[in-house]
Structure 1
Amino acid sequence: MGFTTPFLPTNRLIESLPEEERKRFLADCEIVEMEFGQMLVEPGEIISHAIFPLDCLVSLIATLESGGRLEVSMVGNEGMMGIPLMLGAQTSSLQALIQGVGPALRMSSACFQDHLAQSPTLERLMKRYLNFLMSQISQSAVCTHYHPLEARMARWLLMTHDRTRGDQLRITHEFLSNMLGVRRAGVTLAAKAIQNRGLISYQRGRIIVQDRAGLEEASCRCYVADRNIYDQMLEQVACPMHTSAHK
Structure 2
Amino acid sequence: MARSSDRRGGTVALLQQSMSRNRILRALAPEDFARLQPHLEPVSLQLREVVIAPDAPVDELFFPETGMISISTTHDERRIEVGLVGREGLVGAVPVALDCVTTPHVYFVQLSGEAHTIGREAFCAVLGESPALRRLLLRYVHTLIVQITQTAYAHASLSLEGRLARWLLMCHDRTDGDELVLTHEFLSMMLGVQRAGVTLAIQNLEGAGRIRAKRRRIEVLDRDRLLALTNGSYGTPEAEYARLIEGG
- TM (norm. structure 2) is 0.88
Select the structure with the greater relative contact order (CA < 8 A; seq sep ≥ 6).
1
Q: Which of these residues, 29, 48, 56, is aligned with residue 67 of structure 2?
A: 56
Contact preservation (8 Å) 1:155, 1:220: no
Partner residue in 2 for 1:81: 91
1:12 alignment partner in structure 2:
23
- Cα offsets for 1:119-173 (capped at 9, x unmatched): 1111000111111111111111111011111011000000001011222211111
1:13 alignment partner, SS class: helix
- Report the equivalent of 2:193: 182
Q: Matches of 2:120 and 2:67 in 1, distance apart?
A: 20
In 2, the alpha carbon distance for the partners of 1:87 and 1:47 equals 12
Aligned to 2:134: 123
Q: Is the 8 A contact 2:20 2:26 kept in 1?
A: no
Q: What pairs up with 1:23-62 in 2 under 5 angstroms?
A: 23-62=34-73
Aligned with residue 141 of structure 1, among 130, 140, 152? 152
- The runs of 4+ residues in structure 1 deviating greater than 4 Å are none
Q: Cα RMSD over matched residues?
A: 1.4
Distance 1:9 1:162, change over 3 A: farther
- Report how far residue 88 of structure 1 moved: 1.6
Unaligned runs of 5+ in 1: 1-7, 239-247
- In the alignment, which residue of structure 2 is the partner of 1:157? 168
AA of the residue aligned to 2:164: M
1:219 and 2:238 are equivalent in the alignment: no
Local SS of the residue matching 1:221: coil
Q: Distance in 1 between matches of 2:165 and 2:43?
A: 30
Which residue number in structure 2 is paired with residue 245 of structure 1?
Answer: none
Residues 9 and 170 of structure 1: is their aligned pair in 2 closer, same or farther, counting only changes over 3 Å?
A: farther
The two structures have a TM-score, normalised by structure 1, of 0.88
Distance in 2 (alpha carbons) for counterparts of 1:213 and 1:27: 42
- CA shift, 1:235, in A, is 4.8
Q: Which residue of 2 aligns with 1:243?
A: none
Matched residue pairs, number?
Answer: 229
Contact 1:71 1:179 in 2 (8 A): yes
Q: Which residue does the alignment assign to 2:209?
A: 198
Change (3 A) 1:205 1:130: same
- Secondary structure in structure 2 of the residue aligned to 1:223: coil
1:4 is matched with which residue? none
